[in-house]
Structure 1
Amino acid sequence: MLWSLSICLLSFIFLFLMSLVLGFLGGYFLMMDLVYFVEWELISLNSSSVVMAMLFDWMSLLFMSFVLGISSLVIYYSEEYMLGDENLNRFIILVLMFVLSMMFLIISPNLISILLGWDGLGLVSYLLVIYYQNIKSYNAGMLTVLSNRIGDVALMMSIAWMLNFGSWNYIYYLDLEGNFYELKVVGGMVLLAAMTKSAQIPFSSWLPAAMAAPTPVSALVHSSTLVTAGVYLLIRFNFLINGSFWGNLLLLIAGLTMFMAGIGANYEFDLKSIIALSTLSQLGLMMGILSIGYYSLAFFHLLTHALFKALLFMCAGVIIHNMKNFQDIRYMGGICHQMPLTSSCLNISNLALCGLPFLAGFYSKDLILEAVSLSPINFFIFFLFFFSTGLTVSYSLRLVYYSMTGDFNMNSLHSVSGEGWVMLSGMMVLMLLAVMGGSMLSWMIFCTPEVINLPLFLKMLTLIVCLMGGWIGYEISSFALSYNLFSFSLYKMSMFLGSMWFMPIISTYGSSFYFLNLGGLISNFCDQGWSEEFGGQYINNSLIDFVLLNQVWQNNNLSTYLVGFIIWIYILMMLILFK
């Protein structure tokens, strides 16, 4: 156990210092407008060489700084959260492998090395989801890894199509004209890969299922690593998406994902699932603004969202930890009296998520919605963006209503034991960043002031939508509207909206019944049936018979030669006689 604790502290110190260094470097690269392209020759044999390329610009350095900073605080938080775990060292090593895979993905301008980090994320996320080793974890892990395999295959197909250009360094070809058919195919494949990794419709069902992982893993996965990998990849490939069919398709899918997740979170009672659907909604927001063409805004929201979402999950972990592993928000209530610091952090991260002025989320979300108001999009997409923002405030205030206000709804003899200072110290750092990080990042990334001129109604629409969403969230929490919404007269609609449009059912029962059974039939009748009998096995058996016969002739046995000599004499005599 002592060694386990020491590996926590050493990992925290190393990652935190690396985060500070990369953060300062990112700011310097941004101010000086520097880009370093580094090639490291791994192996050189005759005229062939294996070279690993690395791209260092302000975007990759800042993102690495955020990933390392959040992962260092998550590891420090895990020291107390996972205290009773006998395999804490294994858990920390898995988290470090997860972070390393993300580093490979961030600095790679090459599709092969991107695949290395991409598959590393998929494999280690599977190991972390099944960490608790129960039936729910195994099912969630299989759903996660099989959904992500679709994107892995798409990425491998894009690698094959990049052979048309003679190099896998995609960074050289992005600013070519969009008339190349190969580039359009590569763009489509990369889009499919990013949609699976960032859980857009129809691949959304794995994201809430991945909540089976320990809460520190959820804090890391949902803030800055696994689910943001798809968004980051599309930010790098933004030239292939903008103004094309793929961009319009992504805009529609991202808007629907945002809307679906916001509606689903208002029907959910599981604390971690509400926050997971919140992540899905924010990913749809990032994808949507990226498809319109504002990739720097998408990156800005990616960074600010990482700060308050990691804090939100850490607060949820403390609450679940002290509620003796109950996650249903209906069992909570009055937590602010017993865990005041955790409640303060939870409220600050929730308000940052809602976009309260001068918190981290405000700077990015308000800018995104104003950019949407300026963009030439139709009314349906406009409605999805703004209505989904209102839904965000709605489920956030509903969560606060159930967990913070009123009386404690659990056993009256149960007392919520205090708050651990190790967990709280990590949360305090993130709380400061959730308050100040948005303004600091906006000064860095958008150093030239830009004024967005909009009519008064459009300018105030974001604030109006947020206030309306908060009021509706409060009304949903109270019995009057809740009774009407969740009544048996609207049971089918509630089932449809509350179960992510039946996507988990389709992804599990539907795919297993049709696709896996079809795969089993093909395997039995083709792969292991006639094609095996007349293919590989037939050739194998024929070669074995020929080799055995050849061995008999090569044994240098005198009797064998005598028999052969007699047979040849007999054949010659018969030929002479019958001639």
Structure 2
Amino acid sequence: MLWMLSICMLGFVFLMMTSLSLFTLGLYFIMNDLVYMIEWEIFSLNSSAVIMTFLFDWMSLMFMSFVLFISSLVIYYSHEYMYGDININRFIILVLMFVLSMMFLIVSPNLISILLGWDGLGLVSYCLVIYYQNVKSYNAGMLTALSNRIGDVALLMAIAWMLNFGSWNYIYYLDAMNMSGDMGVIAALVVLAAMTKSAQLPFSSWLPAAMAAPTPVSALVHSSTLVTAGVYLLIRFNSVIMSSELSNLLLLISGLTMFMAGLGANFEFDLKKIIALSTLSQLGLMMSILSMGFPKLAFFHLLTHALFKALLFMCAGAIIHNLKNCQDIRYMGTLCMQMPLTSICFHVSNLALCGMPFLAGFYSKDLILEITSLHYLNMLSFFLYYFSTGLTVCYSFRLIYYSMVGDFNFMAFHSLNDEGWIMLRGMLVLMTMAVLGGCMLSWLLFPSPSMICLPLFLKLLVMIVSILGGWVGYELSKLELSYKLQSLKYYLSVTFMGSMWFIPFISTYGMNYYPLLLGQYMYMTYDQGWSEDWGGQMLHHWFSYYSKITQWWQNNSLKIYLISFMFWVVILVLMII
């Protein structure tokens, strides 16, 4: 156990120190508007050189510092959460590999080295999702891996298409791509890759399924690593996407994703899945503002979201840990009486998610919604933005009502407490950041404030929608908890909305069951059928036959056959004469 403690503490201290150093460096880069490209020649063969390139600008440095900051707190938190696990060293190593893959992806201006980090994230996420080895985890891991493989293939095809430009360093060619006819193909492939990694429709089903992983992993994955990789890639490729028609399609898809996730979270009872669907909703928000041509705003929301979402998952982990691994919110209630510190952190992160004024989420979400009100936007997208915001507040207040206000329905003999000080320390640090992080980042990224002039109704629309959403969430919770069971009257519509519009069933059968069944059929028919009969088996038969004839000739004396042959020729000649 001492060795386990040393691994956790060593990882925590190293990542935290690196994070603070990178944050300081990022501030220096922002103030002086610096960009550094570092090239490392791995080897050179004749005139060809294999060069590894790293891009260091304010964006990559800030993102790396946030990823390492959250990772360090997650590793510290894991020391208590995973206490007693015999494979804790394997778990910590997997988390560190996960972080390393994300670092590769962040600092790479080259599609080949991006693929290293991209595939590293996919592989390690599979290993972490199946960490608790059971059938549900295996199915979730397979769905996660196969969904992400679609994006990997798209990225490989983009790498092949980039050969038209002579190099894979896309940073140099973004302007050239805008002028070129090849730009549309590369933009489409990059958007497809980002949609699979950031779980946009129709690839959304793997995100709630990945909740089979341990909670510290969920805190890391859903805040700053795996799911944000697609958003980060599109931030880098934003100029290419905006100069094509893909931006309108991406706006529609991300808006529908945001709406679908918000709707589904209001019908869910699994604590971790509610938070996973809220992540999906926020990813839709990031993608939609990105498709409107505001990459800096999307990056701002990505960083603020990372802070409060990691805190939300850590609080959920502490609650689940105390409730003996029970995740159903219907069993929770009056937690604020028994776990006050955890409840405070949970409320702060929930309110930051709702966009409560002067918390981290407010600065980015309010700015995004005001920009959309100011921007030239169609009615459907406008509706999806504001209605999804209302749904976010709705499921957040529903969650608060169930866990904090409702009746406690767990075991009569229980031991709920706030004595896990290792978990609490990590949560309190993140709570401080969830309160102060938004204003700090807004001052850094937007030193000169934008002038947004809106009519009074549009200005107050965000507040109206939020208050309405909170009230509806509260009333829905009371309705669900009453014995009337109103949802059974509308069973089909509730089933449709509560199961993410049947996407998990479609993607499970569409990406897992039928392709594997087709593969088995083709294997039996072609590999072990006709191709064997006309290929290997037929060749084996004829080669064996001819080799037997050759062997028969080689095993006999040719001289004896020649002499006997000559003898019979002579006899025949004499007889003829």
TM-score by length of 2: 0.94
For 1:393 and 1:464, the matched residues in 2 are separated by 11
Comparing 259-268 with 562-571, greater Cα deviation is found at 562-571
Secondary structure of 1:201's counterpart equals coil
Comparing 503-512 with 348-357, greater Cα deviation is found at 503-512
For 2:565 and 2:456, the matched residues in 1 are separated by 108
Q: 1:459 to 1:526 in 2, by over 3 A?
A: same
Which runs of 5 or more structure 2 residues have no equivalent in the other structure?
A: none
TM-superposed CA distance for 1:163, in Å, is 1.3
Name 2:166's counterpart in structure 1: 166
TM-superposed CA distance for 1:180, in Å, is 2.3
* Aligned-pair identity (%): 69
TM-superposed CA distance for 1:408, in Å, is 2.1
Secondary structure of 1:100's counterpart equals helix
Contact 1:318-1:419 within 8 A present in 2 as well = no
Comparing 449-458 with 272-281, greater Cα deviation is found at 449-458
For 1:114 and 1:563, the matched residues in 2 are separated by 74
TM-superposed CA distance for 1:514, in Å, is 3.2
Secondary structure of 2:371's counterpart equals helix
Name 2:245's counterpart in structure 1: 245
Name 1:46's counterpart in structure 2: 46
Q: 1:229 to 1:177 in 2, by over 3 A?
A: closer
Name 1:301's counterpart in structure 2: 301
For 1:11 and 1:182, the matched residues in 2 are separated by 44
For 1:169 and 1:22, the matched residues in 2 are separated by 24
Name 2:201's counterpart in structure 1: 201
For 2:339 and 2:302, the matched residues in 1 are separated by 29
Name 1:108's counterpart in structure 2: 108
Q: Does 1:31 align with 2:31?
A: yes
TM-superposed CA distance for 1:181, in Å, is 2.7
Secondary structure of 2:52's counterpart equals strand
Q: Does 1:5 align with 2:21?
A: no
Name 1:234's counterpart in structure 2: 234
Letter in 2 for 1:263: L
Q: Does 1:505 align with 2:505?
A: yes
TM-superposed CA distance for 1:484, in Å, is 7.7
Secondary structure of 2:263's counterpart equals helix
For 1:10 and 1:152, the matched residues in 2 are separated by 33
For 2:31 and 2:498, the matched residues in 1 are separated by 46
TM-superposed CA distance for 1:409, in Å, is 2.0
Contact 1:259-1:384 within 8 A present in 2 as well = yes
For 2:337 and 2:34, the matched residues in 1 are separated by 51
For 1:25 and 1:114, the matched residues in 2 are separated by 23
Secondary structure of 1:414's counterpart equals coil
Letter in 2 for 1:255: G
Q: Does 1:95 align with 2:95?
A: yes
Secondary structure of 2:408's counterpart equals coil
TM-superposed CA distance for 1:527, in Å, is 3.5
Contact 1:197-1:226 within 8 A present in 2 as well = yes
Comparing 401-410 with 230-239, greater Cα deviation is found at 401-410
Secondary structure of 2:515's counterpart equals helix
Letter in 1 for 2:222: H
Contact 1:331-1:410 within 8 A present in 2 as well = yes
Secondary structure of 2:344's counterpart equals helix
Contact 2:479-2:486 within 8 A present in 1 as well = no
TM-superposed CA distance for 1:543, in Å, is 7.3
Q: 1:48 to 1:494 in 2, by over 3 A?
A: same
Contact 1:36-1:57 within 8 A present in 2 as well = yes
Q: 1:441 to 1:523 in 2, by over 3 A?
A: same
Q: Does 1:150 align with 2:156?
A: no
For 1:83 and 1:198, the matched residues in 2 are separated by 31
Name 1:284's counterpart in structure 2: 284
Letter in 2 for 1:379: M
Following superposition of structure 1 onto structure 2, how do residues 291-370 of structure 1 map, counting pairs within 5 Å? Answer: 291-370=291-370
Contact 2:390-2:470 within 8 A present in 1 as well = yes
For 1:508 and 1:66, the matched residues in 2 are separated by 34
Contact 1:339-1:419 within 8 A present in 2 as well = no
Secondary structure of 1:43's counterpart equals strand
Instruction: Give a deviation string over 1:360-412, Cα, whole Å, max 9, x none.
Output: 00000001001111221100000000110010011001100110114422122
TM-score by length of 1: 0.94
For 2:568 and 2:515, the matched residues in 1 are separated by 62
Instruction: Give a deviation string over 1:150-201, Cα, whole Å, max 9, x none.
Output: 1111111111111111111111111125352322111111111110110001
For 2:290 and 2:563, the matched residues in 1 are separated by 86
Q: CA RMSD in A?
A: 2.6
TM-superposed CA distance for 1:70, in Å, is 0.3
For 1:162 and 1:564, the matched residues in 2 are separated by 70
Secondary structure of 1:52's counterpart equals strand
Letter in 2 for 1:514: Y
Q: 1:402 to 1:176 in 2, by over 3 A?
A: same
TM-superposed CA distance for 1:30, in Å, is 1.2
For 1:543 and 1:513, the matched residues in 2 are separated by 40
Name 1:411's counterpart in structure 2: 411
Letter in 2 for 1:127: C
Q: 1:162 to 1:558 in 2, by over 3 A?
A: same
Following superposition of structure 1 onto structure 2, how do residues 171-570 of structure 1 map, counting pairs within 5 Å? Answer: 171-176=171-176, 178-479=178-479, 486-535=486-535, 562=559
TM-superposed CA distance for 1:84, in Å, is 1.4
Which runs of 5 or more structure 1 residues have no equivalent in the other structure?
A: none
Contact 2:238-2:293 within 8 A present in 1 as well = yes
Letter in 2 for 1:163: L
Name 2:81's counterpart in structure 1: 81
Instruction: Give a deviation string over 1:266-295, Cα, whole Å, max 9, x none.
Output: 111111010000000000000000000001
Instruction: Give a deviation string over 1:427-462, Cα, whole Å, max 9, x none.
Output: 111011000001111111112222111111111111
For 1:154 and 1:31, the matched residues in 2 are separated by 37
Q: 1:528 to 1:190 in 2, by over 3 A?
A: farther
Secondary structure of 1:31's counterpart equals helix
Secondary structure of 1:267's counterpart equals coil
Secondary structure of 1:244's counterpart equals coil
Contact 2:342-2:418 within 8 A present in 1 as well = no
Instruction: Give a deviation string over 1:105-158, Cα, whole Å, max 9, x none.
Output: 111111111111111100100000000101111111111111111111111111
For 1:25 and 1:552, the matched residues in 2 are separated by 82
Instruction: Give a deviation string over 1:491-527, Cα, whole Å, max 9, x none.
Output: 0000000000001111123544533322222222233
Contact 2:178-2:243 within 8 A present in 1 as well = no
Comparing 543-552 with 355-364, greater Cα deviation is found at 543-552
